[in-house]
Structures are given as C-alpha cells and as structure tokens.
C-alpha cells in the first residue's frame, strides 16, 4: 500500500528568476541550493528530499546521494537520507545541484534540451524540497533557510547520432563560470508549489509525494582506472570492467585547455561501421567511438564531475590548447541498486566466467528501475524486465525493485487498456507483444513470494489489457496489423524491419499471436487465483480460438513446421517454440518439433531475449540436455572477446555491450541445473530437480524466501549422486534423473 506523505504545508522552492538563455523555449535548467546549520559530530541528522527533475546532494563537500527515485507525475517520490555520518562539529553546509529537464512537449527538434527519457520532465524549473532536522536546525524548505543561484556554467550536447540521447544529453562545462556561480551572490529561495494539498475538495498537487519504495543507490569508494594507450594528445584508460559511476577527473597543468572525456563500452568501429566490434580491448584494429563531455579548466589544479552517472569501461581523455604537459587522475564512484546477491555457485569450465559476466550485467542494469542497457537508454522495458526480475529472484537479491516494477507498469496503462512497453518514460511507446510479459511477472512474483496481493490489486488492469487485444482480433480470432511496433527479436534477418517479422506486414504473425494466446491463458490463471474462475474461462476461450486458427492456417504439413504467417513462407525458431509453450503441440509431437527446430539452421534463430523461452520449450519437451549446444553457440564464444558483461545481441555488430536479457545463466544454474524451485508458492514446499547433466557435476547454495538450499550433484558413467541440505522444517522433494521422487525434510543423499 503506497501512502502519501507530508500532508502538512511543506513545499518546493526555487530561484526568484528563471534563466532561459537564448533558446526561446524551455531549456535544461540548473541551479545550486545551499544552507548552513550548526550541529555536533555524531548528532542525528536526517532529511527527506526531492526535486524537479533531479538533485545531487553534498554535505560538507561530500556527495551523499542523487535522486529522487524515478517516478511519474501522478506518484512522485521523496528520498529519506541519513546525514549523520557526514556531520562535523560546528557549522555544516548542505548544497544541492538541481537540474530540471523540460517536459516532452517543450523539447526542441535539435535536441539541445533533451533530458533522459526515463525522467518525467517539468516546466517548473529547478525546484527543491527538503524536510527534516540536523541538530537544532529545521531544514524544511518551508522555513526560509535555503538560498539559491541559477547555474549557467553547463551547456548540453546532443548525442542523437550515437543514439545515446535517450539517457540525456552530454555536458560542455566551463570551470570559470561554475566557480563564479558558486562564489557569487545567492538569493533567498522562493515558494513554488506545495508538496501535497490538504483541502476538503480533494484537489491534487502537481507532484503528489510518496515514500521511496526502494533503497537508495549505493555509492562505492572511489576507484582508479589504468592508463592503457597514449597518443599525441590523448590517453585511454581501462576500468577493467564495464561499470556505471560518477567520473571525477582531477586535472593539473591544463588551465585554458579544452578537455574532452569520451566514454565507451569497448573499442569499436571501422570505416563505414561504427558498431563493429571484436575483442573489446583491441585498440589496434578498432576505433574509439563514444559519447563525450567537454570541460574547460580555469586553473592548473582543477576537477570535473558530470551531473549524471556515466556508463563505460574505457575512457579517452583528449586535450587541446595546453601550454604545458597536462596530467590527469581519473577516478570514479560506482553506483547502482544494492542487489546484494546471496546465491552462490561452485562450478568449473566455462560456467564461472559466464556467471560472472551475467551477474555484472544484471547489476549494471539496475538503478532506480531495471534498465535494458545503461549506456544507450536506461529504460525499463517489459520483456527485458520480466527476465531481470526472474534473475533477481534466482540470485537471492533484494526484490523491492521487482515490487516497484509491477506497480510501474500498472501506472503505465493507457486509457484504452494497453500497457506502455517501457515505463517510466517521458515519451510513450507501445510494443504490441510486450505487455503479456507483465502478466507473467505477476505470476512469477506470486510463485516466488506467495504474496498474491499484487494480483488482487492489478486484476482489473490484467482484464483491461486482455480486452485491448480482444477488440483487435479478426474473424479468425487472430491479431493483425494493429499498428504500433510489433517487435519480436533482433534477428539479423529482421534488421531492416526493426525486429518485426515480415509476415506481420501482410497479416497475422504466428509468433505474435501465440504470445497473445499465452497471455490469455496466464491472465485466466491470474483471475482464477483471485477467485474469478468464470471470467478466467471466458478469456481462456480466446486463447483456444487463436491456437485453433494457428494450427489450421499456419502449419505446413510437408515441412512439419509452423509458418510465420498463414500465407507467408518464413520459418522461425520463435513460432515452433511458442507452439510448444502454449500447448498447441504436446508430448512426443512437441519433442519431434523441437528436434526439427534445433536441426534446421535455415530457421530464423532466437537471439538473447528469446533464448529463455527457447530453453523453456526444450525443457517442456523433455530435451533440456540439448541446451548444451546453445550455451556453446551463444555464450561461451563471448569469453574469447574479453567482454565483462553480456551484450545486447551475440553478434559482432551489437549496439550495447551490456544488456541484461542475456544474463540467462543467473536463472538456469540455480533453478534448473541445481534444480531448486517452488513446489508451493512462496517456497512453502521446495522441489529439487537437477538438469543440465552434460556438465558432469554442479554445486551451489540457492537462496529462497524459505532459506538457503545447498545442492551438490555428480553424474559419472551414468551414475547420479546428489546431496541436498534444505531449510529446517520445510518439506522438500528431490526428483532424480531416473524418475524417482524422494520426499525429505532437512537433508538427503542419494
């Protein structure tokens, strides 16, 4: 239950005057707020804070936090911060750098005022809200204790050509101007608007304030980077792994120079193809392509740190117009969601390395939302996020972000019932096959936690979503040509169609319709859990109609494969696996179909986002051991490329080098190879069904809501041995490869 906070007359404050520059339309605006107070070291100091659109808070010169938590106009968030560790004896100072991004309707065509798509923009300008006390000082922004100065020391750089503009524009920072702003006259901050309006007519304020539903992002101790390559006027640095953090550049002997800091996931690009990659550290055969900040130092001992965190493995520092030889000391403060994984594995061969890059990928794609990729977009997409939530559960991490995500997509619902494909996002987007994965999220969460309250809370949203699809079914009960984006996968054959099956241009797509059929089945399951079985059966009928039509119209009896459309001779792994997952094909026929699916290399192949479904279809067909060849085909070759995270696609022209939908081992090893799963929702009863016997042995400790399950098994010369230790008092069943079921409590060995 989310509750409004600050019912009193707390307020946002801003500068007395706005600085619109010369753009003639709302620019990105920045301001500095500050206050001083007296306190004693160790004295309790805690505040709640928010801003339009983002703040970066410093206490006595030390960065404390960046926020507020990403929300939306109807549910805005405030952060609760403990400042006690930063307090000194005597006078203390708080400073907040607040940057306001314009709303989408105020964004210019040349994109100079683009903010991150994941941030809800505001026309209010930089505004700050603070409520709390530090010692005897009341720091509420309604108490007239804050002063403010507009900051025009940063200009914003369009990165549209690199397609990184979705994360917000880059900076051109003038140190002399920044120092003048901070040393100049600050004015008394003025009232802008109330946080919450307490009146008898129930009117809503501009930003209804809710408590932050997730922990604050961690800020790690500063880390250094290693110089790896030097040119005539540049130095390249390697952080050793792809990371997200606040880069701080200490610069000496460069007064009056132009310093360009370029951030890259890898060395990449050859003439005519800026995305082509090989070994990620290959500086001899590939270029250095990335987005850049520009800084103009004002002294021979200066420093620069951008407002927004950067994503990088490599940093190139270029210098121009230097009177002498400059020196640089780049460091960074890593940041991200405090996942704190507790599942551990003890494996050999390729497994530990793939686990390592997979876990790092998940961590780098978690901040205040799950993210598709931290470098290019930082947006929370339904398909990606469903997998990331499953990975979070499997590694035993903090699930508060998963709970927030369920609510985010509920809030994304359009008036006609469809969910937005990414949210929060200032620019609305619909990808037709994505919303069904939100229904899967609900069922995944219920199975993992045993908590059905989200299903009850969002039941009507599930119904509205299914009605949206029903309204668009044709006479055969199939969905076709509904508009928006009908993305399925980034298969190379669909590059020109932006991931849309060619069949969808002419009529129904088999894959898309099978995804929708599955949604009707899962929606019916949600309704049954909520006590609405009759309505669930109503929706199940639409699933049956889709499956019947696909079976009659899209199956090629000669090829014994499903076409990608009723009259379109294109064949994909996607259609075959969804035919199995929906139960359109069962038993021995399902196994035979999946055998053909793996054997026929002419089929359009599933890439990383759909490998999870392919694995599930193989499992359902009793063929999980065939995943061995998929690990060898798609994941193991990554280890030869010096990647430190899993890329967006398994091809050398991949865009992002960090995309968590490919971190599949995080789920497969605990849940399938070790085999730990819930037999009853919330792990009230636990099953252990080891698979992936091609590995020869597996060992690990899987954290579940009931406690840790320790599993060790070997398969030698056809003999299976296993040892399992489970939480005390929990009923468990060990399913052995020869079909035996051994019930136990506590521990068992076979």
Q: What is the pLDDT of residues 64-106, one digit of tens each?
A: 999 999 999 889 999 999 999 999 999 999 999 999 999 988 8
Establish if 166 belongs to a structural domain: no
Confidence at residue 455, expressed as pLDDT on a 0 to 100 scale: 98
Inform me whether the pLDDT recorded for 7 exceeds 80: no
Of 350, 432, 314, 443, the residue nearest 632 (C-alpha): 350
What gap in Å lies between CA 311 and CA 332, rounded to an integer?
Answer: 11
Q: Average pLDDT, stretch 726-744?
A: 97
Establish if 358 belongs to a structural domain: no
Per-residue pLDDT band for 198 (boundaries 50, 70, 90) equals low
Inform me whether the pLDDT recorded for 156 exceeds 70: yes
- What CATH number did the domain enclosing 591 receive? 1.50.10.10
Q: Average pLDDT, stretch 176-185?
A: 96
- 607 and 719 share one domain: no
- 640 and 581 share one domain: yes
Q: 528-536 long-range CB contacts below 8 Å, 24 or more apart?
A: 529/446, 529/452, 529/455, 530/452, 530/455, 530/456, 530/459, 532/459, 535/463
Establish if 360 belongs to a structural domain: no
- 390 and 517 share one domain: yes
Could you count the other beta carbons within 10 Å of the beta carbon of residue 720?
15
Cβ pair 458, 404 in contact under 8 A:
no
Residue corresponding to tokens 């129930």: 202
Could you count the other beta carbons within 10 Å of the beta carbon of residue 325?
9
Per-residue pLDDT band for 1 (boundaries 50, 70, 90) equals very low
- 697 and 626 share one domain: no
Establish if 6 belongs to a structural domain: no
Confidence at residue 6, expressed as pLDDT on a 0 to 100 scale: 66
- 475 and 602 share one domain: yes
Count how many domains the chain has: 4
Q: Average pLDDT, stretch 112-130?
A: 92
What gap in Å lies between CA 675 and CA 692, rounded to an integer?
Answer: 9
Confidence at residue 4, expressed as pLDDT on a 0 to 100 scale: 67
- 310 and 209 share one domain: no
- What CATH number did the domain enclosing 324 receive? 2.60.120.260
Cα distances (Å, whole numbers) of residue 141 to 29, 457, 684, 712, 726: 20, 35, 48, 57, 52
Cβ pair 257, 368 in contact under 8 A:
no
Establish if 351 belongs to a structural domain: no
Establish if 244 belongs to a structural domain: yes
Please tell me whether residue 540 adopts helix, strand or coil conformation: helix
Strands 234-252 and 310-320: antiparallel
Among 132-136, 558-562, 676-680, the least confident range = 132-136
pLDDT greater at residue 143 or residue 299: 299
SS (H, E, C) 431-496: ECCCCHHHHHHHHHHHHHHCCCHHHHHCHHHHHHHHHHHHCCECCCCCEECCCCECCCCCCHHHCC
Confidence at residue 2, expressed as pLDDT on a 0 to 100 scale: 63
Strands 676-680 and 685-688: antiparallel
Identify whether 424 is preceded by a cis peptide bond (ω within 30 of 0): yes
Cβ pair 185, 13 in contact under 8 A:
no
Per-residue pLDDT band for 112 (boundaries 50, 70, 90) equals confident
Per-residue pLDDT band for 427 (boundaries 50, 70, 90) equals very high
Confidence at residue 47, expressed as pLDDT on a 0 to 100 scale: 93
The DSSP 8-state label assigned to residue 214 in this structure reads S
Half-sphere exposure of 482 (CA within 13 A, CB side): 23
Per-residue pLDDT band for 19 (boundaries 50, 70, 90) equals confident
Establish if 673 belongs to a structural domain: no
Q: What is the pLDDT of residues 611-658, one digit of tens each?
A: 999 999 999 999 999 999 999 999 999 999 999 999 999 988 899 999
H-helix or E-strand spanning residue 541 = helix 533-553
Among 204-208, 559-563, 585-589, the least confident range = 204-208
What gap in Å lies between CA 665 and CA 670, rounded to an integer?
Answer: 8
- 524 and 645 share one domain: yes
Cβ pair 722, 712 in contact under 8 A:
yes
Confidence at residue 199, expressed as pLDDT on a 0 to 100 scale: 65
Inform me whether the pLDDT recorded for 723 exceeds 80: yes
Look up the domain containing 731 and give its range: 678-749
The DSSP 8-state label assigned to residue 72 in this structure reads B
Which token pair is 626? 């065939």
Establish if 343 belongs to a structural domain: no
pTM: 0.97
- 22 and 141 share one domain: yes
Identify whether 68 is preceded by a cis peptide bond (ω within 30 of 0): yes
Inform me whether the pLDDT recorded for 201 exceeds 90: no
Percentage of residues in the chain having pLDDT higher than 90: 87
- What CATH number did the domain enclosing 693 receive? 2.60.420.10
- 191 and 267 share one domain: no
Identify whether 525 is preceded by a cis peptide bond (ω within 30 of 0): no
* Helix 573-581 with 608-620: angle, nearest 10 deg: 50
Q: Average pLDDT, stretch 156-172?
A: 88
Confidence at residue 139, expressed as pLDDT on a 0 to 100 scale: 84
Cβ pair 744, 734 in contact under 8 A:
yes
What gap in Å lies between CA 218 and CA 120, rounded to an integer?
Answer: 22
Go through 205-220 and write b for each residue having 16 or more CB atoms within 10 A of its CB, e for each that does not.
Answer: bbbbbbebbbebbebe
- 209 and 63 share one domain: yes
Q: What is the pLDDT of residues 276-324, one digit of tens each?
A: 999 999 999 999 999 999 999 999 999 999 999 999 999 999 999 988 8
Per-residue pLDDT band for 271 (boundaries 50, 70, 90) equals confident
Residue corresponding to tokens 């696909």: 550
- 623 and 713 share one domain: no
Confidence at residue 74, expressed as pLDDT on a 0 to 100 scale: 86
Cβ pair 279, 644 in contact under 8 A:
no
- 612 and 698 share one domain: no
Half-sphere exposure of 66 (CA within 13 A, CB side): 18
Q: Give just the sign of the alpha carbon dihedral 666, 671, 673, 674.
A: positive
């Amino acid at each position: 239950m989310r509750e409004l906070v600050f019912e009193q007359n707390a307020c946002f404050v801003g500068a007395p005057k706005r600085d619109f520059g010369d753009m003639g339309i709302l620019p990105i605006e920045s301001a500095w707020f500050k206050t001083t107070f007296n306190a004693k070291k160790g004295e309790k100091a805690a505040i709640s804070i928010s801003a339009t659109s983002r703040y970066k808070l410093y206490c006595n010169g030390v960065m404390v936090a960046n926020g507020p938590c990403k929300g939306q106009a109807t549910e805005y968030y405030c952060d609760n911060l403990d400042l006690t560790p930063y307090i000194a004896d005597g006078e203390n100072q708080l400073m907040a750098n607040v940057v306001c991004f314009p709303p989408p309707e105020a964004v210019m065509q040349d994109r100079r005022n683009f903010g991150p798509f994941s941030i809800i923009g505001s026309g209010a300008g930089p505004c700050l809200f603070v409520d709390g006390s530090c010692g005897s000082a009341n720091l509420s922004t309604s108490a007239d204790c804050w002063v403010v100065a507009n900051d025009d020391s940063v200009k914003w750089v369009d990165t549209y050509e690199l397609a990184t503009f979705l994360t917000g524009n880059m900076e051109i920072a003038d140190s002399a101007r920044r120092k003048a702003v901070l040393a100049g006259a600050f004015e008394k901050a003025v009232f802008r608007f109330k946080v919450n309006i307490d009146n008898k007519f129930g009117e809503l304020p501009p930003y209804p304030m809710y408590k932050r539903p997730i922990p604050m992002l961690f800020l790690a101790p500063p880390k250094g980077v290693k110089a790896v390559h030097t040119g005539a006027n540049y130095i390249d640095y390697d952080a050793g792994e792809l990371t997200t953090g606040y880069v701080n550049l200490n610069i000496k002997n460069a007064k009056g120079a132009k310093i360009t800091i370029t951030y890259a996931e890898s060395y990449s690009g050859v003439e005519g193809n800026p995305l082509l990659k090989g070994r990620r550290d290959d500086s001899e055969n590939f270029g250095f392509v990335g987005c850049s900040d520009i800084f103009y130092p004002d002294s021979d001992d200066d420093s620069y740190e951008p407002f927004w965190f950067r994503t990088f493995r490599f940093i190139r520092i270029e210098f121009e117009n230097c009177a002498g030889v400059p020196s640089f000391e780049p460091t960074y403060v890593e940041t991200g969601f405090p996942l704190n994984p507790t599942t551990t594995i003890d494996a050999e061969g390729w497994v530990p390395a793939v686990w390592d890059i997979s876990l790092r990928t998940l961590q780098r794609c978690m901040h205040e939302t799950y993210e598709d990729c931290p470098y290019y977009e930082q947006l929370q997409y339904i398909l990606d996020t469903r997998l990331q939530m499953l990975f979070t559960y499997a590694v035993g991490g903090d699930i508060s972000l998963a709970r927030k995500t369920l609510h985010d997509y509920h809030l994304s619902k359009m008036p006609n019932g469809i969910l937005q494909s990414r949210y929060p996002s200032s620019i609305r987007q619909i990808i037709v096959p994505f919303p069904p994965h939100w229904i899967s999220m609900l069922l995944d969460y219920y199975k993992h936690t045993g908590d059905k309250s989200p299903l009850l809370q969002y039941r009507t949203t599930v119904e509205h979503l299914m009605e949206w699809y029903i309204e668009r079914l044709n006479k055969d009960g199939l969905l076709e040509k509904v508009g928006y984006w009908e993305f399925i996968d980034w298969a190379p054959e669909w590059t020109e169609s932006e991931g849309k099956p060619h069949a969808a241009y002419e009529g129904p797509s088999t894959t898309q319709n099978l995804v929708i059929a599955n949604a009707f089945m899962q929606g019916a399951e949600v309704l049954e859990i909520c006590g609405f079985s009759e309505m669930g059966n109503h929706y199940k009928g639409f699933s049956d109609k889709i499956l019947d039509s696909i079976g009659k119209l899209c199956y090629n009896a000669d090829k014994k494969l499903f076409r990608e459309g009723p009259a379109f001779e294109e064949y994909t792994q996607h259609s075959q696996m969804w035919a199995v997952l929906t139960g359109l094909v069962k038993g021995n026929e399902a196994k035979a179909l999946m055998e053909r699916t793996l054997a026929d290399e002419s089929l359009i192949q599933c890439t990383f986002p759909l490998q999870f479904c392919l694995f599930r279809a193989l499992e359902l067909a009793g063929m999980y051991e065939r995943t061995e060849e998929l690990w060898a085909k798609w994941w193991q070759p990554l280890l030869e490329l010096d990647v430190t995270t899993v890329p967006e696609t398994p091809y050398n022209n991949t865009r992002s080098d960090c995309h968590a939908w490919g971190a599949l081992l995080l789920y497969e090893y605990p849940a399938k190879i070790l085999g730990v799963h819930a037999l009853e929702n919330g792990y009230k009863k636990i099953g252990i069904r080891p698979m992936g016997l091609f590995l020869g042995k597996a060992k690990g400790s899987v954290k579940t809501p009931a406690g840790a399950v320790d599993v060790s098994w070997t398969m030698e010369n056809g003999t299976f041995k296993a040892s399992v230790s489970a939480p005390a008092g929990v009923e468990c069943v060990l399913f052995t490869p020869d079909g035996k079921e051994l019930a136990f409590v506590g521990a068992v060995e076979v």
